[in-house]
Amino acid sequence: MSQSSHVITLLPGDGIGPEITAAVVDIIAATGVKITWEEHIAGKAALDKMGDPLPESVLDSIKKNKVALKGPLTTEVGKGFKSVNVQLRKSLNLYANLRPTKTIPGARARYTGVDIIVVRENTEDLYAGIENEIAPGVIQASKIITREASTRIAKFAFEYARVHHRKKVSAIHKANIMKLADGLFLKCCQEVAQDYPDIQYNEVIVDNCCMQLVTNPTQFDVMVLENLYGDIVSDLCAGLVGGLGVVPGANIGTEASVFEAVHGSAPDIAGKGIANPTAMLLSAVMMLQHIAEDHAAERILSAVYRVLGEGKVLTPDLRGDATTRQFTDEIIKFIN
């Protein structure tokens, strides 16, 4: 363990966010890693208190500390303020969304041996949020795909593959229909692939990709996708290994990185004390690796795997009856 103290921005978030971030903070503290958490609010709570769902102070804190751990934030459907998650990614240029989806020992899932890295472009596509009513009853939403962002995400995926000794990168697309937009994305992936002759490269149309994922998920290694396909396909991947409660995520940029679970604020179970903190905890493990606290990350991983593997103390989403607190205490018990 490093003796130095880290300063990290903490956004507990909405719904189950405060419950699962509290659990994660306790588990990290049990490893002895010294972290000073700079806590901020964002989303509806910040709008009510400070008149802005994403106050400048939040962005300043993340820019200063370069690392944040974030709980889920609620985004209203079809109305309300623009998604703070999307704004955060755009404002901090967190261009790569990284979601490792791996079979977890003990977590009940339909498949074994899944080990897929989903690399999702995080800044453009339909998520640029450009929507216009061009005539009454006619809405136009713009899909923005640029050479710059597509090349950057392709490089990220291939570089990740090389550094982590992965064998294959699959570019997922719908260029048979969106010949210009997805065609450009594919072209950029093909160009980048030429610089990585040691890594296999293939292309899969997104609808076929979904079918292949549920019939034979172990054929996939690293996947690189535009924003919208990445959002959908990464949730599908989460379903292969036990659901949203167990899959971590990271939003990586050149100046800062924000670590967060794949799942949302789960309003249906918020406040009941039964949320599963595993996804948030595994995101925090990615964060600890990012700040070179690898030993603490390893100790947390083996404790989580042990608790999930034994299957005695599990939250209801994993068909157990433990509370978030009981599950957290069980993990802390095995941190040594």
Active site residues: 127, 174, 207, 231, 235
Q: Which of 9, 40, 45, 72 binds ligand NAI (CB under 6 A)?
A: 72
Closest distance between ligand NAI and the C-beta of residue 208, in Å? 25
Considering only residues 79 to 98 of the shown chain, the ones binding ligand NAI according to CB under 6 A are 85
| Nearest to ligand NAI of 182, 317 (CB atom) | 317
Q: Is 12 in the site for ligand NAI (CB under 6 A)?
A: no
| Nearest to ligand NAI of 35, 262 (CB atom) | 262
Q: Please give the backbone phi and psi of residue 186, each rounded to the nearest 5 degrees, phi first.
A: -65, -45
Q: Which of 124, 226, 260, 293 binds ligand NAI (CB under 6 A)?
A: 260
- Angstrom CA distances, 229 to 98, 204, 223, 226, stand at 14, 12, 11, 6
**Number of chain residues interacting with ligand NAI (CB under 6 A):** 21
Q: Which of 98, 209, 266, 304 binds ligand NAI (CB under 6 A)?
A: 266
Q: 121: which strand partners? A: 96
Q: Which of 118, 95, 122 is nearest to 234 (CA)?
A: 118
Q: Is 74 in the site for ligand NAI (CB under 6 A)?
A: yes
Q: Which of 9, 21, 122, 265 binds ligand NAI (CB under 6 A)?
A: 265
Q: Which of 54, 244, 287, 307 binds ligand NAI (CB under 6 A)?
A: 244
Q: Return d(Cα 37, Cα 259) in angstroms, integer.
A: 14
Rounded to 10 deg, the angle between the 206-215 and 227-240 helix axes is 10
Residue type, 245: G
Residue 260: how many other CB atoms lie within 10 Å: 28
Contact 72, 264 (CB under 8 A): yes
| Nearest to ligand NAI of 70, 166 (CB atom) | 70
| Nearest to ligand NAI of 182, 260 (CB atom) | 260
Closest distance between ligand NAI and the C-beta of residue 294, in Å? 25
Residue 266: how many other CB atoms lie within 10 Å: 22
Stretch that binds ligand NAI, among 114-122, 124-132, 136-144, 257-265 (CB under 6 A): 257-265
| Nearest to ligand NAI of 25, 275 (CB atom) | 275
Q: DSSP letter at 188?
A: H
Q: Which of 30, 41, 269, 291 binds ligand NAI (CB under 6 A)?
A: 269
Q: Please give the backbone phi and psi of residue 5, each rounded to the nearest 5 degrees, phi first.
A: -95, 140
Q: Please give the backbone phi and psi of residue 67, each rounded to the nearest 5 degrees, phi first.
A: -140, 135
Q: Return d(Cα 334, Cα 133) in angstroms, integer.
A: 56
Beta strands, E only, 71-164: 96-102, 115-121, 131-135, 138-141
Contact 54, 60 (CB under 8 A): no
Q: Is 248 in the site for ligand NAI (CB under 6 A)?
A: no
Q: Which of 24, 53, 57, 23 is nearest to 40 (CA)?
A: 57
Q: Is 100 in the site for ligand NAI (CB under 6 A)?
A: no
The interface mask with ligand NAI, positions 217-236, x = CB under 6 A, is --------------------
For ligand NAI, the nearest residue by Cβ is 264
Which residues of the shown chain bind ligand NAI in the complex (CB under 6 A)?
16, 20, 72-75, 85, 244-245, 260, 263-269, 275-276, 279, 317
